[in-house]
Amino acid sequence: MKLDIRQVIGGLFLLYGVILIAVGLIGGEAPNLWTGAAMAVFGGAFLAWARLKRI
Amino acid sequence: MRLDVNLLDYALIAIYFVVVLGIGFAARRAITTQDDFFLAGRGLPAWVTGLAFVSANLGAIEILGMAANGAQYGAMTVHYYWVGAVPAMVFLGIVMMPFYYRSRVRSVPEFLRRRFNPSTQLLNAIMFAVAQILIAGVNLYALALVMEALLGWPLPASVLVSALIVLSYITLGGLSSAIYNEVLQFFVILAGLIPLTVLGLMRVGGIDGLADRVRQSTLGEAGLHTWADTAGDNPMQAHWIGIVFGLGFVLSFGYWTTNFAEVQRALSARNTNAARLTPIVAAYPKIFIPLVTVIPGLVALVMFDGLGQGDSAYNDAIPMLMRDLLPNGLLGIAVTGLLASFMAGMAANISGFNTVFTNDLWAAHVVKGRDDAYYVRVGRIATVVGVALGVGTAFIAAGYSNIMEYLQALFSIFNAPLFATFLLALFWKRMTAWAGFWGLLGGTLVAIASYVLYKSGTIDFGTELNASFWGAGLAFASDILISVLVTFVTAPKPVEELRGLVYGLTVDVEDDALKGDERWYRNPLFLGIGALVLSIAMYGVIL
């Protein structure tokens, strides 16, 4: 199987996003929360793209 | 200045490097031939090679440096992007890339061998290889300095750790790992810089607040303009003629169209159309990068009194903003972005070096005619040696930082004569093989001479910036002059040998277009002109 960089980008950003959202909720730092949300959405979009158009 | 990095930040950094090494291992499985190792199998789509193209240049020195320029010179810094990069990138994609890609060469020096002779290839390959090692070393040293200042890591430790990471993923996966990591790095850098910019702007009262406070700063009103007073007094002390011809033509076309560390990304694209789109796809993010480098620079200028005076260097602009604006978590992402960009910059140098060393020095002049497995092995060894030399250079740089700065400034004008040679080579079929060699050698010597004379104070060009404009311009002109003179006293190459290498001498190559290449969003000419128009339009926002 070939390496699909979209899955790597998507996975990393989704993971980063989820961590930042969790940290933002616990610590109450708004910048972590909205950056985390943006990164999670971005990562999800890449995963969806990789899923919809396979190489 | 120390960042308050905690366990969470370190965890985010660690996750990134696990992924980076994972890419190296995954890419390793796809490597059997030289094209796999040195050109990622020539199978990548334009968005991947395009982002790698912009990323290879988006090293941390570039990011910290452009924010520093933003704080020092203000909005004029955007010239480095909209005049100094986009037109050359579009030219590379529309005009030059078909020659590079369709000739099936593996490197820029190999193209020079085909168009001229092995001596020209050797000359260019040696200059390029030496420059890449030195630049990789400087990169590594800069990384270690930042790590020492921000995280408190001892200098030798950060040099060795980062060299090892770069070494492992390039030795494993060759150019594909370098390129994949560059794409990933591009997004991680933005994930750090965008929140930094937004939080910075919120702190100073938005765009209007920033503009008001820049007017009251040391920079004053001039910090908010790009072309105003470029015939007189301005923060850069640069004349518009110097900006347009020096920066916009000689320096930038030289760098973007002939620097193999960049061109290599496009050569790894899957077909001619994707190769042509590579620099053009890269031009679009390039247009918007100043928003997250120059604006933070200006924010830092108004937030920190006395930035650039005394102990606080302009280069500290971004690190100081990170310290004051980012909470733990986001801070980890931003530090990861910086680390990643240092390593990607170095990886671009090293992957360019190992290709040129193997292809243009070893296989072309030392051990010829062996099988692919042999040269892939040579490439892996060259990577190890290259990284080791880079580490050595980093430690030398630690002792003699001035010399390294001079060398880097010198290399920035080395590409100007090479571009002159290419311009003649592609459009003048009469140009002879030895004209290529002597023109390049002469132009390069003029570049060195003008820089040495400037540094020793024999010639006064005013500022460092003007010195590089003039040095590059003189090197360009003398390259053309010498090439033309030598051409008239030597015999041209037979036309048959120049097919596919010179404009107007077409060659029958099978059409490699893919389904969908005819759509407007995959049309190099349309997208290229779009990038130029967008650049000009951006100047409309800030004149």
Q: State in Å, rounded, how far the first CA of chain A is from the last one.
A: 10
Share the mean pLDDT of chain B. Answer: 89
Distance from CA of B300 to the nearest CA of A (A): 19
| Chain B residue with minimum CA distance to A2 | B30
Confidence category of residue B493, pLDDT binned at 50, 70, 90: very high
> Any chain B CB within 8 A of the CB of A26?
no
Distance from CA of B26 to the nearest CA of A (A): 6
Cα distances (Å, whole numbers) of residue B416 to B101, B334, B348, B357: 22, 35, 20, 22
**What angle separates helix B155-204 from helix B260-267, to the nearest 10 degrees?**
80
Residue bearing tokens 């320029």: B69
> Any chain B CB within 8 A of the CB of A35?
yes
Determine the Cα–Cα distance for residues B398 and B28; give it in Å rounded to an integer: 34
Q: Which of A39-48, B84-93, B454-463 has the lowest mean pLDDT?
A: B454-463
Q: What angle do CA B13, B18, B22 make, to 5 degrees?
A: 150
Q: What does the H/E/C string look like for chain A?
A: CCCCHHHHHHHHHHHHHHHHHHHHHHHCCHHHHHHHHHHHHHHHHHHHHHHHCCC
Question: Hey, are the CB atoms on B329 and A3 less than 8 Å from each other?
Answer: no
- Give, for B326, the enclosing helix (H) or strand (E): none
B542 three-state secondary structure: coil
Q: How far is C-alpha A43 from the geometric centre of its chain's CA atoms?
A: 3
The number of C-alpha atoms within 13 Å of B490 and in the hemisphere containing its C-beta is 20
> Any chain B CB within 8 A of the CB of A10?
no
Question: Hey, are the CB atoms on A35 and B15 less than 8 Å from each other?
Answer: no
User: Measured between beta carbons, which residues in chain B are less than 8 angstroms from residue A42?
Assistant: 187
CB of B49 within 8 A of CB of B265?
A: yes
**pLDDT of residue A54 exceeding 90:** no
pLDDT, residue B467, reads 81
- Phi, psi of B95, rounded to the nearest 5 degrees: -95, -50
pLDDT, residue B311, reads 63
Q: How far is C-alpha A13 from the geometric centre of its chain's CA atoms?
A: 3
Q: Determine which of B4, B203, B333, B515 to mutate to test the interface with A (most A C-beta atoms within 10 Å).
A: B333
| Chain B residue with minimum CA distance to A38 | B191
Residue bearing tokens 């193999």: B260
The number of C-alpha atoms within 13 Å of B23 and in the hemisphere containing its C-beta is 29
> Any chain A CB within 8 A of the CB of B13?
no
- CB-nearest to A23 from B8, B48, B188 is B8
Question: Hey, are the CB atoms on A32 and B329 less than 8 Å from each other?
Answer: yes
Distance from CA of B384 to the nearest CA of A (A): 24
Determine the Cα–Cα distance for residues B415 and B342; give it in Å rounded to an integer: 22
Who has greater pLDDT, B93 or B220? B93
User: Measured between beta carbons, which residues in chain B are less than 8 angstroms from residue A23?
Assistant: 8, 328-329
In this structure, is the dihedral angle defined by the CA atoms of residues B87, B44, B337 and A27, taken in order, positive or negative?
positive
Task: Report pLDDT digits (tens) over B330-372.
Answer: 999 999 998 888 888 888 899 999 999 999 999 999 999 899 9
Helices (H) and strands (E) in chain A, counts: 2, 0
The number of C-alpha atoms within 13 Å of A26 and in the hemisphere containing its C-beta is 9
**pLDDT of residue B404 exceeding 70:** no
Residue bearing tokens 């041209």: B492
Who has greater pLDDT, B248 or B387? B387
Q: Which of B97, B98, B89 is nearest to B280 (CA)?
A: B89
Residue type, B125: A
Residue type, B362: W
**pLDDT of residue B110 exceeding 70:** yes
Question: Hey, are the CB atoms on B329 and A12 less than 8 Å from each other?
Answer: no
The number of C-alpha atoms within 13 Å of B513 and in the hemisphere containing its C-beta is 9
Question: Hey, are the CB atoms on A8 and B180 less than 8 Å from each other?
Answer: yes
Question: Hey, are the CB atoms on A12 and B48 less than 8 Å from each other?
Answer: no
Question: Hey, are the CB atoms on A9 and B183 less than 8 Å from each other?
Answer: yes
Distance from CA of A48 to the nearest CA of B (A): 17
Determine the Cα–Cα distance for residues B64 and B7; give it in Å rounded to an integer: 25
CB of B265 within 8 A of CB of B56?
A: yes
- CB-nearest to B195 from A3, A12, A35 is A35
Distance from CA of A28 to the nearest CA of B (A): 10
Residue bearing tokens 């967008």: B534
**pLDDT of residue B310 exceeding 70:** no
pLDDT, residue B512, reads 82
Question: Hey, are the CB atoms on A23 and B12 less than 8 Å from each other?
Answer: no
For the record, the structure tokens of B453 come out as: 């004379």
Distance from CA of A51 to the nearest CA of B (A): 17
User: Measured between beta carbons, which residues in chain A are less than 8 angstroms from residue B26?
Assistant: 3
In this structure, is the dihedral angle defined by the CA atoms of residues B191, B195, B201 and B207, taken in order, positive or negative?
positive
**pLDDT of residue B171 exceeding 70:** yes
CB of B297 within 8 A of CB of B77?
A: yes
Q: Which of B305, B261, B257, B285 is nearest to B426 (CA)?
A: B257
**pLDDT of residue B541 exceeding 90:** no
> Any chain A CB within 8 A of the CB of B176?
yes
B5-21 mean pLDDT: 92
Task: Report pLDDT digits (tens) over B122-168.
Answer: 999 999 999 999 888 888 888 888 888 888 889 898 889 889 988 88
Question: Hey, are the CB atoms on B8 and A3 less than 8 Å from each other?
Answer: no
CB of B498 within 8 A of CB of B492?
A: no
Residue type, B31: I
**pLDDT of residue A1 exceeding 60:** no
Determine the Cα–Cα distance for residues B249 and B129; give it in Å rounded to an integer: 25
> Any chain B CB within 8 A of the CB of A21?
no
B387-414 mean pLDDT: 80
Question: Hey, are the CB atoms on A16 and B8 less than 8 Å from each other?
Answer: no
Q: What is the DSSP secondary structure assignment for residue B77, as one 8-state letter?
A: G
- CB-nearest to B183 from A2, A5, A31 is A5
| Chain A residue with minimum CA distance to B12 | A16
- CB-nearest to B19 from A12, A27, A32 is A12
B481-493 mean pLDDT: 95
For the record, the structure tokens of A48 come out as: 């969806």
- Give the highest mean pLDDT range of B151-160, B234-243, B532-541: B532-541
Determine the Cα–Cα distance for residues B271 and B49; give it in Å rounded to an integer: 11
Question: What residues does each domain of chain A span?
Answer: 5-54
Who has greater pLDDT, B455 or B404? B455
Q: Which residues, 6+ apart, have CB-to-CB distance to B63 below 8 Å?
A: B189, B193, B293, B318, B338, B341
Confidence category of residue A31, pLDDT binned at 50, 70, 90: very high
Determine the Cα–Cα distance for residues B373 and B9; give it in Å rounded to an integer: 41
Distance from CA of A21 to the nearest CA of B (A): 10
Residue bearing tokens 């120059």: B294
- CB-nearest to B184 from A12, A27, A36 is A12
Question: Hey, are the CB atoms on B329 and A2 less than 8 Å from each other?
Answer: no
Q: Which residues, 6+ apart, have CB-to-CB distance to B435 below 8 Å?
A: B116, B424, B482, B483, B484, B486, B487, B490
Residue bearing tokens 């099988």: B371
Determine the Cα–Cα distance for residues B539 and B28; give it in Å rounded to an integer: 45
| Chain A residue with minimum CA distance to B188 | A13
CB proximity under 8 Å: B 193-212 to A: 195, 199
Give the ranges where B357-432 is alpha helix by DSSP (H): 372-399, 401-427
**What angle separates helix A30-52 from helix B330-356, to the nearest 10 degrees?**
50
Q: Which of B130, B110, B131 is nearest to B122 (CA)?
A: B110
- Give, for B95, the enclosing helix (H) or strand (E): none
User: Measured between beta carbons, which residues in chain B are less than 8 angstroms from residue A21?
Assistant: none
> Any chain A CB within 8 A of the CB of B48?
yes
Determine the Cα–Cα distance for residues B188 and B333; give it in Å rounded to an integer: 7
How many other C-beta atoms can be found within 10 angstroms of the C-beta atom of residue B515?
6
> Any chain A CB within 8 A of the CB of B44?
no
Determine the Cα–Cα distance for residues B345 and B382; give it in Å rounded to an integer: 18
Say what the ipTM of the complex is: 0.96
Q: Diameter of chain A by CA atoms?
A: 42
Determine the Cα–Cα distance for residues B208 and B185; give it in Å rounded to an integer: 32
Count of pairs with CB atoms under 8 A, one residue in A, one in B? 65
Q: What angle do CA B273, B274, B277 make, to 5 degrees?
A: 90
pLDDT, residue B410, reads 74
